[in-house]
Amino acid sequence: MSAILKVSNATMQFGGLVAVDDVSVVQREGEILSLIGPNGAGKTTFFNLLTGVYKPTKGQILFLDEDITNLKPYERVEKGISRTFQNIRLFSELTTLENLLVAHPDCNREGLIESIFGRSKLIAKRSKVVEDCENILEMIGLKDQELELATNLPYGKQRLLEIGRALATNPRLVLLDEPGAGMNGLEKEELSSLIINITKKLNKNILLIEHDMKFVMSISDRIIVFDHGVKIAEGLPEEIQNNQQVIEAYLGRGITDDEE
């Protein structure tokens, strides 16, 4: 399998704080890769490096063998990387459907002349955009609420809508930052089947951050563990579950130290 994403020796420093320390990660085509680690381990910062919100202090990011280290966030979306946010950042005054429309490349790259003088061709293009977006809504189960303002959706649905919006950009790789946060058991089950659907049916790659271990273990093909900005482990779910270093990172070194 070829690599879709290849991060080499990425380091992110904020003043004296090293949030991400010399991390190298490879994601293979077609896999669901998960990023776990205690709070403050640098997972979201790592996402921000991938999406271009921050520029790494050192290191290189290859996406589909192309160096994207210096691209801006919107340029990376064009290349095929999209994301969701840990703290939901929907366009709250737009409707559910509109949140997807604005993410659709054919909508947000409309030209000025076209928008003023466009006729039937433009209408056809816009119809196609609506159709695409409604298909995504169908998939994430929000078709019935497509005219609701995003801000009026319940929390769990807002999370789903963020995923839908990320999909509307027509990405190759979707980064999900704690997609299950604040969801109940049933919603999480639906979420995991949705994520699997996205990879299998839509043929997209998923990289996700999640705290719920049961969820992560059941859904991931491979897991990477961060602690204090350093990648401390990488492997299949069962390998990670039994990794002594990972257990220490989560439980704290103090306990094991005492037992020595």
Binding interface with another protein (CB under 8 A):
14, 44, 48, 51, 53-54, 72-74, 77-78, 82-83, 85, 89-95, 97-98, 101-103, 105-110, 112, 115-116, 123, 126-127, 130-131, 147-149, 165-166, 168-169
b/e map of 107-129 (b: 16 or more CB within 10 Å)? beeeeeeeeeeeeeeeeeebeeb
Minimum separation from the CB atom of position 102 to another protein (A): 5
- In terms of Cα–Cα distance, which of 74, 75, 51, 56 is closest to 18? 56
Minimal distance, residue 93 CB to another protein, in Å: 6
Separation CA 177–CA 114 (nearest Å): 36
- Cβ proximity to another protein: between 69 and 243 the closer is 69
For another protein, give the closer residue by CB, 44 or 192.
44
For the record, the structure tokens of 144 come out as 């019935």
Smallest separation, CB 161 to another protein (Å): 12
* Nearest distance, CB of residue 95 and another protein, angstroms: 5
For another protein, the closer of residues 113 and 186 by Cβ is 113
Using a 10 angstrom Cβ sphere, with 0-12 exposed, 13-18 middle and 19 or more buried, the burial of residue 39 is: exposed
How many Å apart are CA 258 and CA 51, to the nearest integer?
Answer: 41
Nearer to another protein, 117 or 254 (CB): 117
